[in-house]
Amino acid sequence: MKLRSLLAAALAATSLAMVPGLASAQAPAYKPEYRMSLVLGTAFPWGKSGEIWANLVRERTQGRINIKLYPGVSLLQGDQTREFSGLRQGVIDLAVGSTINWSPQVRQLNLFSMPFLMPDFAAIDALTQGEVGQQLFKDIERAGAVPLAWGENGYREISNSKHAIKTPADLKGLKIRVVGSPLFLDTFTALGANPTQMSWADAQPALASKAVDGQENPLSIFTAAKLHSVEQKHLTLWGYVADPLIFVVNKDVWASWTEADRKIVRDAAIEAGAQGKALARKGLVEPGKPLIKQISDLGVTVTELTPEQRAEFVKATRPVYEKWKKQIGADLVGKAEKAIAARKP
């Protein structure tokens, strides 16, 4: 008798939960704290983007959604190319991540690492803010996360400790640290360099000890991480690739929030993305590009390529572009090329 009434109660509870109206009327289970993964902390535009997002969400939800920042991909011991997997598996609740680091799981994100696809900031915007960006968000969703907004890491300029790079021949034999993504190995191999994959955490000591000669990263990272103090005395502005950042939430976490809270989180991500992008471009979009002068004042030789010099790098990496166009999807890359050709300055 006792068992029967227990069973009846259990059954009643299950069937109540299965009535859609009733189930959604129940307060969703919010966590006391949500974990946001980032590669870089708040000294960088990347970490700032995450901080702005977290603060806006905390304020506007009156603390219902309380987000803590975990820079250095510390939830995964710094393993940045597994960040997307960690997000999918729920080790990470939210992230602001680079297209490069997530490209092992979401093949289409390699698009932004195609050498010399995007000639200027307007070209990045033409992709992220247009149809290509929407299509990539669908790919991310299919891969198992909820994408909300775009931000920016920036144009990845190349530095090294040996000599100025003006032609592909100057890269010959240089040991260059790259992120663990196969397209980067192909690009640097085509240029005659000796690429070595390692995480950002390992890159800085490797540069300091001269275990590697050079690296490629946005200028905002060059200054904030003080790369001139780890032997990086030569910097070439070649604008070969740029990595946007993407604001995402784990699927189950997203499903656990009310419609109103989801809107707050999405709107805040869009605002933080726009603010972060402005920070990432600071000093590079104003007349005279003051950030470049700031870097040369640190004793760094800054090389700006002539259009003819740049064309040599484009030519040398063209086979890589053609190979990866097929791997990423000729359709998507074709759409990107068209959007860039039609961009407004």
Residue nearest to ligand X2X (CB): 200
| Least CB distance to ligand X2X at residue 158 (A) | 12
Nearest residue (CB) to ligand X2X, 153 versus 223: 153
CB atoms within 10 A of CB 337: 14
Nearest residue (CB) to ligand X2X, 147 versus 154: 154
The binding site for ligand X2X (CB under 6 A) comprises 39-40, 80, 98, 100-101, 153, 179, 200, 217, 243
Q: Which has the closest alpha carbon to 103: 246, 283, 209?
A: 246
| Least CB distance to ligand X2X at residue 172 (A) | 22
| Least CB distance to ligand X2X at residue 178 (A) | 8
Nearest residue (CB) to ligand X2X, 159 versus 217: 217
Nearest residue (CB) to ligand X2X, 157 versus 243: 243
Query: Rounded to the nearest 10 degrees, how much is the dihedral formed by the CA atoms of 244, 247, 250, 256?
Result: -160
Nearest residue (CB) to ligand X2X, 160 versus 217: 217
| Least CB distance to ligand X2X at residue 91 (A) | 18
- Quote the CA–CA distance of 225 and 64 in Å, as a whole number: 34
| Least CB distance to ligand X2X at residue 159 (A) | 12
